[in-house]
Structure 1
Amino acid sequence: MPVLGEQLINNAVGFLDAIKRWQLARQGLSSGRKRRVYSENPAIQALEESFTVKFTLYASFAVATVVLILEADANGSAEDSLRRALFGFVLALTAVVMLHTNRQVPCRRNSRVTLVLGGNLIHLLIVSLILRLAHSSEVPEVFRYLLVPFALVPMLHGILLGRFVGAFSALCVSLIGSLLVPPQDMLGFLTLSLVSGLTAVLLTGNVRKRGQLLRAGIFTGLVSLLIANLWGRLDLMSCFGSGAMDHLEVFCLGSAAALGTALFVALFISGLLPVFEELFQLTTDISWLELSDLNHPLLRQMQLEAPGTFHHSLVVASLAEAAAEKIGANAVMCRVCAYFHDVGKLKKPAYFIENQQDGADNPHDSLTPTMSALIIIAHLKDGVDMAIKHKLNPRIIHVIQEHHGDSLVQYFYRRAQEQKKTNLDKVDRGLENPEDLPHVDEKNFRYPGQLPSTRESGIIALADMVESASRSLRKPTLAKIRALIEDLVRSKMTDGQLDDCPLTIRELAIVKDSFAATLRSMLHARIDYPREDDRPPSTPKRSESQRPPPSSLEINSQILSQQSPASPASPASPA
């Protein structure tokens, strides 16, 4: 209820604000437009963080696990069914405790908890249905477990949420799933499910192309065949003994079942990935690579209207991607977010130094430092507005908001202080009125953004600052570059810009080393190629007296050429 009341109040305030803008626009005092602002729905955010919802999800998973085990063992004795149900309940509680005590991303949002626990529950339900159908349709026992999609949820969670969650799901569905099969098959099922699931997780940890999913499906099917052969469900050696043709037929059908199931799982996940990404607000490396296309309308516009900003964004992307790879952060995400982090400069590209031509007038020369700072600061809000308009990924919007934090626009702040000092001198000399002096407030020269809250956002913020400052280096050497980076990072930390960033001191040291190595390769010196005027004069031709005497061979050749008769077609021949 409090969240609903707050939302109603916000809607009422927004409605009144729209009426005021409309009235000002009619009077010619406003354009009637307003920047788009990115914010999450308060009701959805409250549901995401509610412990009551999270506890309900935990309890539902445990109860559903017990019901599923009891339904699978309906034909068994009551005592055995209750024992299995108790074991399943204990395993479900253990899985819930492991998930809740995990401090990584999956436990922070209830939607992620729903994806993890709901996915595991659906996987177990599919296993139970396939085993029932195989039993009722009299499928040979040899093929019964090879038709189970062991890699379904581990592969899906590994791609969407990372290897840790994928491995957790593989362990969870393998332990609980072993309670759905007869006692004599428990160990074999557990081994087959766990090894197949972990293989799928390991092969899809860094998937950047959809073809890698098919490759992972093939290898997972081969591993399933190997485990089935060790388990005794398939016997390759019997294909070389008596009744080889019958055994070979069984082995081929089993291989087709295992490989076909694994490939179907890979194709199914590949097709449904966009649905899960949109539904749970997740972004895989495959989608990040699709977003890295430089032909995006905003990037194309930046190339034409703000080429300096575009080049700056490319260099920041290279710095951030290399540093992220060194510390194990999401490198592809860093590259894409760096492409768009300064997209707000497209509103007024000429007011940013990288887009100003040599010899051209600087528009800031005719503005006060306060007004110049407002224009520089506005590129954050303009960037968010353009990103929302073009429906960019929410993580890109977060980076646009956070890459400057609430840092100070140093240049114009110092310029304002210098002007104030000059005006104070004029006041002392009686040339200015003290009441006419403008007030220099540091708050007016600070960005209104949020502090970097992720490792990727922190890396991009540091790369943006380092790249801009490195342009001022003259004759850059590795020592100068390292000293510059060290000073900039220290000032960032002193100003509190990295207080909310999860980067550790060790990771910061690795990031600084990566920046230095990348900048050193970019700012290396080149040799001076000689111009035409600088070349040495050509060697003069030898005079007749300096030439060496002709050889005997040259003398003989000249005599023979003089003694040869003229040809009939020669001009000297008679007509």
Structure 2
Amino acid sequence: MSEQQIASPVELEPPDPLPRPPPRKPSAKDENRFKITETLGCFFFLLALCYLCLLYGRIPRAQYAAEGALDSSEKLVGTVATRDVFAERGFYYSPTALEKDKKDSGDDDDSATPPGADTGAVAPTREPPADLIQVFPDEIIVRKGSVISDETARKLQAHNLSIRQHNRINRRLLPVYQATLLCALLLLCFGLGIHNLKPDFFHRSQRIVLGSLCAALHLSLLVAGQWLHDNVFFGNSLHLYALIPLALAPALAAYLMGMRIGLCLTLLLSALTALLLPSNHPFLLGINCFLIAMVGLLLFHNVNKRYRFAWGGLGVAAAVFAFSLFFAWYQDMPWLWSGLSNYGPKLLALALLNGLIVVVALFLLPSILERVFDVTTPSSLGELNDRDHPLLERLRKEAPGTYEHSLNVARLATDAAKAIGANPALAEVCAYFHDVGKLCAPEYFAENQLGDMPNPHDQLSPEESCSILRAHVRHGIELARKYRLNRPIREAIAQHHGDSVIAYFFQRAEQLAKKSGGKAPDIADYRYDGPRPHRPEVVIVKIADTCEAAMRALFSNQGSSKIGGARIGERVNELLFAKMQAHQFDASSLTVADFMKIRDQIVQTLCNIYHERPEYPPKEETAPATPAAPAVNETQKRPTTPVAPVTPVEPESTAANGPPMETP
């Protein structure tokens, strides 16, 4: 390199910045891999929670007194009970003084106590021994504030030793890892059941996470309920089951994701509750959890008014109280009925607290979760169903024809959704907003063109007209995101045309190509962008939109007196089968029977809208009699007696101008 080049280096201009390439859209394989990873992550997360619940259940609970005091009944005699103590398990005790050898009871090893050992606690048998007294599960041993007698102290000692023996046997029969394996099998069965009942559940990662959170909420409530029961409320097992809000997680899942998912989650959580909660009768506990969860599921899955939340909470509280008494009667607890005045008020208070927790949680949590996970709840549908929504107000003012069309489509869609058991509120709201994209250019759509207004499409080519019509879908999605409309409504806006062909402009382009001898138009340029609808409510909106527009055109050309019910049925049949032959409904899960119900209901509703009326005959207008003009000489004569003035009958046109003047 020369010295001149070193002394005076040439300054190079910076290169033009290259445009950034658009972000790569993930392929279907990448999306499937991500969903599988997310599903496995939620599975192991729930399995870990089950494992922690099992560990918490195996931790020895805090007993009434210290271990040394319970090993010797003499240390408890004369002391005052600081809380109520209930029998966690059934056992027998001797009314005579029975002392336990400290070296046999002080450690908690795996060696079981011999059946005939002097323990003060004897394993339950079918027939109680003659010299022992039986204590039933959940029976009260000592009440708070009472002085502990010698017999009560021996009963407490026997209760403590029976729990130790049960813990040793329980660890041998069902270790934690075996119970965890059983939880894993339950979770696997739940996933397979959801996949078969609702195949699109695993297509959205948000639903997977939301369902896992509902299950995690239930497992957390199990642990929290046990801790409160052991450290705050101090009751028997009925009080424990009345304290835990077993209906909350299933009702929340049904409220956010639908009845099917809520029912599947109810079955899963009932089985897990029977496995994770300590109980002498786990099968009855699972049945109790299932019944209470079903009550919450039925009361809260479609709540959209405040007073229904209150009634739902009272219903859950009544179910908890009633089922607790029923299972106490079923398990043969005679001591409970004799002491119902002592147990009943606390049980009723816990049931009311349970219902209150469910109501408050279902009133607050959905408003947060529906925004985070982009789901639609009955409450949000009730808000969007208000016609004073700002976007509907714009549609009513700027595109009044489209607004009236949307109201008619909503009526058709609501009735059709009821006919097949779909969500009528969701179908109605989707119909209200499905054409909001026409606000971009309302004058280019026929329903907004007045009779004397020139058609702007006459000055455009078919390709330009088609691009304007296709743009209303894209613009509608942008408006939906701007106004924060829920995901199902955005799907209705994007899918209510599917990928169908804009037939009018495609045929017009073909005619122009034949006349000019040019290239035939490509049908792909005259299709909507799609995708095809898959949600039942969106399919109904698509059918209702097509039928309403066709009936409006038929009515405009022929009049309602010439249409008739038969003609409406034929036209709806033609439109529906044309869409089916074009494979517009292949992505939906509706059956042929569902489509027939939709067709029949739409025909019936259209017949109600475009009903025939008799034509009124024209009104015959008769000219009123006009009095003859009086002669001049007669007007100058006045009668000698006063005569009432006569007002002549005037025609309607004259009477409209004012009352006639009286002539003297």
Q: Under TM normalisation by the shorter chain, which class is it? A: 0.7 to 0.9
> Displacement of 1:495 after TM fit?
2.0
- Cross-structure match for 1:89: 181
1:416-565 alignment, distance < 5 Å: 416-424=509-517, 437=518, 440-473=521-554, 474=558, 475-531=562-618, 533-534=619-620
Residue pair 2:201, 2:208 contacting (<8 A) in 1 also: yes
Residues 392, 144 of structure 1: CA spacing in aligned structure 2 closer, same or farther, 3 A cutoff?
Answer: closer
What is the one-letter code of the residue matched to 2:526?
F
Unaligned runs of 5+ in 1: 1-10, 16-38, 425-436, 542-575
Residues 390, 247 of structure 1: CA spacing in aligned structure 2 closer, same or farther, 3 A cutoff?
Answer: closer
CA distance in 2, matches of 1:352, 1:54: 46
CA distance in 1, matches of 2:54, 2:20: 51
Query: Deviations 1:424-477 (Å, cap 9, x if unpaired)?
Result: 5xxxxxxxxxxxx46533232222232222222221111111111111323221
- Cross-structure match for 2:3: none
- Cross-structure match for 1:168: 264
> Displacement of 1:208 after TM fit?
2.5
- Cross-structure match for 2:244: 148
Residue pair 2:229, 2:240 contacting (<8 A) in 1 also: yes
Residue pair 2:375, 2:487 contacting (<8 A) in 1 also: no
| 1:121 maps to 2:216 | yes
> Displacement of 1:102 after TM fit?
2.5
Residues 67, 249 of structure 1: CA spacing in aligned structure 2 closer, same or farther, 3 A cutoff?
Answer: closer
More helix by share: 1
Residue pair 2:215, 2:269 contacting (<8 A) in 1 also: yes
| 1:205 maps to 2:301 | yes
- Cross-structure match for 2:68: none
Deviates further, 147-156 or 123-132: 123-132
> Displacement of 1:352 after TM fit?
0.9
What is the one-letter code of the residue matched to 1:81?
R
- Cross-structure match for 2:489: 396
- Cross-structure match for 2:194: 102
| 1:61 maps to 2:157 | no
Q: Matched residue pairs, number? A: 491
Residue pair 1:73, 1:180 contacting (<8 A) in 2 also: no
Residue pair 1:48, 1:109 contacting (<8 A) in 2 also: no
> Displacement of 1:256 after TM fit?
2.2
Residue pair 1:403, 1:461 contacting (<8 A) in 2 also: yes
Query: Deviations 1:243-293 (Å, cap 9, x if unpaired)?
Result: xxx844642332122022112211212111111112222111221121122
Residue pair 2:43, 2:187 contacting (<8 A) in 1 also: no
CA distance in 2, matches of 1:271, 1:47: 33
Aligned counterpart for 2:21 among listed residues 1, 5, 13 = 13
CA distance in 2, matches of 1:492, 1:288: 28
CA distance in 2, matches of 1:184, 1:261: 23
- Cross-structure match for 2:316: 220
CA distance in 2, matches of 1:48, 1:314: 43
Residue pair 1:159, 1:284 contacting (<8 A) in 2 also: yes
What is the one-letter code of the residue matched to 2:298?
L
- Cross-structure match for 1:548: none
- Cross-structure match for 2:55: 70
Q: For the pair shown, which has the larger CA radius of gyration, 1 or 2?
A: 2
Residue pair 1:66, 1:89 contacting (<8 A) in 2 also: no
> Displacement of 1:311 after TM fit?
0.5
**Which secondary structure does the structure 1 equivalent of 2:20 belong to?**
helix
Query: Deviations 1:314-354 (Å, cap 9, x if unpaired)?
Result: 11111112111211222211111111111111111111111
- Cross-structure match for 1:192: 288
Residue pair 2:376, 2:487 contacting (<8 A) in 1 also: no
Residue pair 1:63, 1:89 contacting (<8 A) in 2 also: no
**Which secondary structure does the structure 2 equivalent of 1:93 belong to?**
helix
1:312-391 alignment, distance < 5 Å: 312-391=405-484
CA distance in 2, matches of 1:414, 1:279: 46
Query: Deviations 1:139-172 (Å, cap 9, x if unpaired)?
Result: 2325333211111111111211222222232232
| 1:411 maps to 2:396 | no
> Displacement of 1:40 after TM fit?
9.5
Residues 175, 448 of structure 1: CA spacing in aligned structure 2 closer, same or farther, 3 A cutoff?
Answer: closer
> Displacement of 1:14 after TM fit?
4.3
Deviates further, 462-471 or 213-222: 213-222
CA distance in 1, matches of 2:263, 2:253: 9
**Which secondary structure does the structure 1 equivalent of 2:21 belong to?**
helix
Residues 321, 48 of structure 1: CA spacing in aligned structure 2 closer, same or farther, 3 A cutoff?
Answer: farther
CA distance in 1, matches of 2:203, 2:282: 34
Deviates further, 198-207 or 267-276: 198-207
- Cross-structure match for 2:5: none
CA distance in 1, matches of 2:446, 2:480: 23
CA distance in 2, matches of 1:384, 1:259: 45
CA distance in 1, matches of 2:377, 2:578: 34
Residues 173, 496 of structure 1: CA spacing in aligned structure 2 closer, same or farther, 3 A cutoff?
Answer: closer
What is the one-letter code of the residue matched to 1:140?
G
What is the one-letter code of the residue matched to 2:482?
K
Residue pair 2:510, 2:520 contacting (<8 A) in 1 also: no
Residue pair 1:320, 1:459 contacting (<8 A) in 2 also: yes
> Displacement of 1:65 after TM fit?
1.3
Residue pair 2:375, 2:486 contacting (<8 A) in 1 also: no
> Displacement of 1:397 after TM fit?
1.9
CA distance in 1, matches of 2:245, 2:424: 31
Residue pair 1:62, 1:93 contacting (<8 A) in 2 also: no
| 1:289 maps to 2:370 | no
Residues 40, 458 of structure 1: CA spacing in aligned structure 2 closer, same or farther, 3 A cutoff?
Answer: farther
Residue pair 1:406, 1:447 contacting (<8 A) in 2 also: yes
Residues 421, 42 of structure 1: CA spacing in aligned structure 2 closer, same or farther, 3 A cutoff?
Answer: closer
Query: Deviations 1:77-128 (Å, cap 9, x if unpaired)?
Result: 3551361632453144123223234331433334323332342233123222
1:270-285 alignment, distance < 5 Å: 270-285=363-378
Using the size of structure 1 for normalisation, the TM-score is 0.78
Using the size of structure 2 for normalisation, the TM-score is 0.68
> Displacement of 1:41 after TM fit?
8.8
Residue pair 2:250, 2:266 contacting (<8 A) in 1 also: yes
What is the one-letter code of the residue matched to 2:305?
K
Residues 497, 183 of structure 1: CA spacing in aligned structure 2 closer, same or farther, 3 A cutoff?
Answer: closer
Matched-pair identity in % = 30
Residues 40, 343 of structure 1: CA spacing in aligned structure 2 closer, same or farther, 3 A cutoff?
Answer: farther
CA distance in 2, matches of 1:382, 1:115: 30
CA distance in 1, matches of 2:279, 2:490: 53
CA distance in 1, matches of 2:586, 2:393: 35
Residues 140, 392 of structure 1: CA spacing in aligned structure 2 closer, same or farther, 3 A cutoff?
Answer: closer
CA distance in 2, matches of 1:309, 1:371: 21
Residues 72, 40 of structure 1: CA spacing in aligned structure 2 closer, same or farther, 3 A cutoff?
Answer: farther
What is the one-letter code of the residue matched to 1:494?
Q
